[in-house]
Amino acid sequence: MTFDNPSGLWLLTLGVPILVFHFYKGRIRKMPVPMLLFWEQVIVEEERRTALKRLRHWASLVVALLALILLTSAVSAPNVKGLTRPRGRFALVFDNTPGMAALEPDGRTRAQHAVDRAREFIGTLAYGDQVSVLDLSGARAPFTSDLEGLVGRLAAPGPGPRVPEGDRIADALSAGEDVIAIFFTDQPPQGVDDRLASGRLRLVRVGTPRDNSGWIAGSSSRRPGEKKIVLTLKAAAYSKAKIEREEVLSLNGKPLARRKLELEPGVAADREWVLDPAKVPGSRLEEGGLVEVSMEPADAFPPDDVASFVLPTLVPPSVIVFHPGEASPLLMHALTTLEAGGLIMNLSRAPIERYESLRSKLGEGWIVIFDRVAPAKSPERGATLTLGAPGPGAVEKPTVVDWDRDAPPNHRIDYGGLLVRRSRILSGDPLVRAIEGPVATWSARGGRADVQFGFALEESDIAARPTFLVMLINFAEWASYRGLRAFRTEYAMGEPIRAERKLWFDQGELTFAQGDHADRAAVRQGTVAASPSAGPGFIRMSAENRTEWAAVNLFDAAESDLRERPATPVGEPLPPPAPWHAKVPYAFLAVAGVLALLVFEWLLYHRGVI
């Protein structure tokens, strides 16, 4: 036998005065009566009424000692093997993979059913049992014994990425040897057979196998210089029979086109939509926007019925070149070529002296090129390309040895053999690295993109190669749109929505909004602290009068397949419901017992029941 509060056993010492007072009779008062006969008659009569009367003396002692034992046990909280129910600790693990958003015949999602089952399970627990809640994405509520409060707070977790269940369950069980994990899921988990066999993991299956069809892949593309955008999609059906649906193309919520979609079981269907502004007049497609391709009518699994894309503006960026007195002919030649190809527009030039007066007019749609000059202040928005700005740190004939192949401006570029007569060594993320250090750097931040070369075109042979022209094409393509974004344009459903680069502001609060739901996250030094996940559709990140949109899609064939999967060992069933008395605090029962004993004592003596 163990005690939660062994110091409460000191109460037992009160038994000594109880025994003393019980056996100490003291002096009995004498009472003269005129004749004892009547008293003897009634007293004998009373004593004859029940044999218990003779035991009253001892019954009183037993009642007092029982009350003391009950009080002591209420304070010391004993744990008796076989008699008392050991307190349980349960980790409720919710499967929050996208498949849990599938609708059941009653119109509710599997996640909601899982929450209901979890509430039922919590309702069967005993007083003092502890429960923690976590999901597969790692969100966790710590152990609590406030079961009623937990039931009230319990909500279906947001969608998260599919991670190995075994890892998360091991994480849940790591809280202690006595913890039992209850996994609420719609599909048999993999790699947890040993935990199922040990009884430390119990499964609660929710949902029924369903037929389903949806998008399992999708992408948008645009060739440089072209104004049309191609949406490439892949659809699949997970059923025994052919499924007929309709795909609806919409731009900024406005339907543009419809067409039939027939899906054969087991055969992925490739679909393509070409968005040509010329063929959709009045759609303002050139300005970019939010495009959705959705399947109708709705089926059991809405998350994969919609493919969302954020389209960049199709308007080429405007370019202005600030120069020390005369612009580089090599630069202007390259830019003229780009303008002729429709990759840039409004090409203009101006001496650096006019920069201050023009700076406020340069917006996000501008590429500002500083040719051999350095501005006092960088533009607040838009993209900046600096070539051979004067300054310290110049080296002669630096040897180019490497370049950042993943940097967007370097896409499909080979700097091998580049000759540079003289260059400054720059600091920052290297775009091109020489033995002496970076001779070109790049940086991007929400609202600004920046590429800097330490040498002028005339001081290298870069202009004589296709390298520079390709770099300019890349730069115009990237910097005018993607380089200005902090967030990607597309995320997978359940994927944490993290900014890829610094935000457009340093300090404050960023709002993530999707539909009616909105979260706020603090921003410190241009970095957002939280990374929420979102369901399918568009999510809006906004602060400081600037908004970025991202499309969230479920392009996951495994999640779309709602059919029955091979079963794993079921494992042990859920722990049996606690008996009613286990749901009441033991101290409450003990005190009630003491009160009952006191009432019994009162009946025994003052009412003379026996």
Chain positions contacting other proteins, by CB under 8 A: 28-43, 45-46, 605-608
Q: Which residue has the tokens 């007072």?
A: 21
Which residue, 29 or 240, has its beta carbon nearer to other proteins? Answer: 29
Q: Report in angstroms the alpha-carbon separations of 334 from 339, 365, 422, 476, 595.
A: 9, 19, 21, 12, 97
The CB-of-597 to other proteins minimum distance in angstroms stands at: 19
Which residue, 43 or 598, has its beta carbon nearer to other proteins? Answer: 43
Task: Tell me how long the chain is.
Answer: 610
The DSSP line for 523-548 is: EETTEES------SEEEEEEETTEEE
The CB-of-133 to other proteins minimum distance in angstroms stands at: 59
φ, ψ (nearest 5 deg) of residue 191: 75, 20
Which residue, 29 or 377, has its beta carbon nearer to other proteins? Answer: 29
Which residue, 592 or 598, has its beta carbon nearer to other proteins? Answer: 598
For 572, half-sphere exposure in the C-beta direction (CA atoms, 13 angstrom radius) is 14
The CB-of-61 to other proteins minimum distance in angstroms stands at: 15
Q: Give residues with Cβ within 8 angstroms of 410, minimum separation 6.
A: 403, 404, 431, 471, 474
The CB-of-179 to other proteins minimum distance in angstroms stands at: 58
Which residue, 34 or 392, has its beta carbon nearer to other proteins? Answer: 34
The CB-of-594 to other proteins minimum distance in angstroms stands at: 23
Nearest of 92, 143, 142, 145 to residue 117 by alpha carbon? 92
The CB-of-33 to other proteins minimum distance in angstroms stands at: 5
The CB-of-50 to other proteins minimum distance in angstroms stands at: 12
Which residue, 43 or 518, has its beta carbon nearer to other proteins? Answer: 43
The DSSP line for 42-81 is: HHHHHHHH-GGGGGHHHHHHHHHHHHHHHHHHHHH-EE-T
Euclidean distance between CA atoms 475 and 478, whole angstroms:
5
Q: Report in angstroms the alpha-carbon separations of 596 from 4, 63, 75, 601, 603.
A: 25, 10, 18, 9, 10
Euclidean distance between CA atoms 156 and 98, whole angstroms:
12
Nearest of 123, 220, 59 to residue 602 by alpha carbon? 59
The CB-of-15 to other proteins minimum distance in angstroms stands at: 23
Pairing verdict, β 89-94 and 130-135: parallel
Q: Which residues pair with 198 in a beta bridge?
A: none
Nearest of 303, 334, 298 to residue 319 by alpha carbon? 334
Which residue, 46 or 287, has its beta carbon nearer to other proteins? Answer: 46
The CB-of-58 to other proteins minimum distance in angstroms stands at: 15
Which residue, 377 or 606, has its beta carbon nearer to other proteins? Answer: 606
Which residue, 49 or 412, has its beta carbon nearer to other proteins? Answer: 49
The CB-of-22 to other proteins minimum distance in angstroms stands at: 13
Which residue, 49 or 259, has its beta carbon nearer to other proteins? Answer: 49
Pairing verdict, β 508-514 and 537-543: antiparallel
